[in-house]
Each structure stands twice: as C-alpha cells, then as structure tokens.
Amino acid sequence: MSEDKKMPESKRFVELQMKNLEISPQAIAFIRDAMAEKYDLIKVLGSPEEVARKLHFDLNHGQRKDINKLHKKLSKMSPTEHEVLDYYVAVVNDGRHYHEWLVDPQSVAKQLDVKLSSKAADLILHEKKRIIDTSIDSSGGGETSSVIVAIIITIGIVAMSSSVAKKPSVIDRSGRKKL
C-alpha cells in the first residue's frame, strides 16, 4: 500500500480495530473527550472514575473494564513507546495534524516541538502499515513490533475517525453526560 494513501475511515475499519483492541467505541469516546479537555492520557486511564466525575460522564462497568485493560498495557511502556505517546498527546492537544501525524511523524513532531527519535518514528510507520494492511487483508500485516504503539495508533485512528468522533454525548436531566 502506498504511503500517500489516506487513513481508512470506513465503519468496517473502525469496527475491526475496536475488535482487535477489545474496547468499546464509548470507552474511546470518553478517552477522546477527556483528552480534548486537556486531561493526561495516563491520568484518564489510571483514574477513569475521577476524570468521569469531573467531566460529568457516566461510565458503565464495561467501559471501566475496557479502560482498565488499556491502562495495564500502557503501564509497561519502554522509553521509545513513551516518546510515541508524548507525540500522540501533542498531536491531539494541537489538533492541526490529524491527517499527517502517521504519514510523516518526524516532520509533525518538529512542527510541534516534540522529541521523536528516528527509532520512535520508524516504530510508528511500521505499526501504521501493519494495522492498515491487516484491515485491508485479513491474512495479517506482519509482526507487531510494539503492542503499545499499535494501541496508541489504533486509538488515534479510531478517535479521529468520523464514525466515533462525530457521535455526540447525551446529557440527561441531571446534567450528566452519557456515551
């Protein structure tokens, strides 16, 4: 697949990635909304109930369980994986590079003044290609170099995709947001 092709945004792609991550769209929407409010991803994953209270969200048991699984996986990050996470958080917080953050990570990192080593950039590009190839050809896309980077990229793709990103939260009579 050519590097200049856009990231897939089809409903099928999003559903496949959710299945691979074993996480609900509602949990991703909560993470996305919390990060949009400038909450640190590690804080969101480590204390979802506290963040949910502050943001007036109701998280059900399944959403808390999904978020807890992600937190356990992300708690075992290498220094390179931390670079990828810091880069992803900078992209989300800035909001201008949703279409190129996975195409040219070195250039985007430079624009955002975020440290991203060539090793971290190569890891991003490898996992992006593997994830996209897997979504196009169910026979697989090669070996995963980093489960954590695969999770970060998948969360990014899914959170920024139209089918998840445009679903509004419902606010009940008490003022609580429901996903």
| Interatomic CA distance for residues 174 and 154, integer angstroms | 33
pLDDT along the chain (179 residues), means of 10: 42 59 77 81 88 90 89 83 87 82 93 95 87 58 62 68 48 62
Q: What are phi and psi of 57, to 5 degrees?
A: -105, 150
Domain parsing of the chain, residue ranges: 11-166
| Interatomic CA distance for residues 83 and 77, integer angstroms | 10
What does the pLDDT read at residue 110? 96
Q: Which of 134, 120, 165 is nearest to 28 (CA)?
A: 165
